[in-house]
Chains A and B, each alone.
Chain A
Amino acid sequence: MSLRRTNRAERKMNCMQVGRALQSYLDDEIDDLTARRIAAHLEDCRRCGMEADAYSELKRALTRRADRIDHEPMDRLRDFSRRLAAGDVPPEVGAENPGGA
Chain B
Amino acid sequence: MTEPAPKNLAHEEAFALHVLPEVDVLYRVALSITHNPADAEDLVQDTLLRAYRSIGSFDGRHPRAWLLTILRHTEINRHRRQRPELMRDPDATMARQASTASTDRDPEDIVIGETFDAVVEEAFTALPDKFREVIELVDIDGLSYREAAEVLGIPEGTVMSRLHRARARIRRRLAVAGLAPRKGML
Contact = CB atoms under 8 A, between A and B. Distances in A.
A58 B170 contact: yes
A89 B49 CA distance: 9
B53 A77 contact: no
A54 B184 contact: yes
Contacts of A63: 139-140, 142
Contacts, number: 141
B8 A87 contact: yes
Contacts of B20: 78, 81-82, 85
Nearest to A88: B12
Q: Interface size bucket, B side? A: 35 or more
B19 A101 contact: no
Interface stretch (B38-46, B78-86, B91-99, B106-114): B38-46
Interface string B150-186: 0000000000100110010011001000001100111
Contacts of B74: 101
Interface SS of chain A? helix
A61 B37 contact: no
Given A55-B167, A80-B45, A98-B57, A85 B19 contact: yes
A96 interface: yes
A98 B23 contact: no
Contacts of A65: 121, 124, 139-140
8 closest Cβ pairs, A-B complex: A19-B186, A85-B16, A62-B139, A101-B50, A54-B180, A61-B120, A101-B54, A73-B41
Interface of B: 8, 12-13, 15-16, 19-20, 23-24, 26-28, 31, 37, 40-41, 44-45, 48-57, 69-70, 73-74, 116-117, 120-121, 124, 135, 138-142, 144-145, 160, 163-164, 167, 170-171, 174, 180-181, 184-186
19 contacts: A23-B160, A47-B181, A48-B186, A55-B167, A58-B171, A62-B124, A63-B142, A66-B28, A73-B27, A77-B45, A78-B20, A81-B15, A81-B19, A81-B48, A84-B52, A96-B53, A98-B53, A99-B53, A99-B57
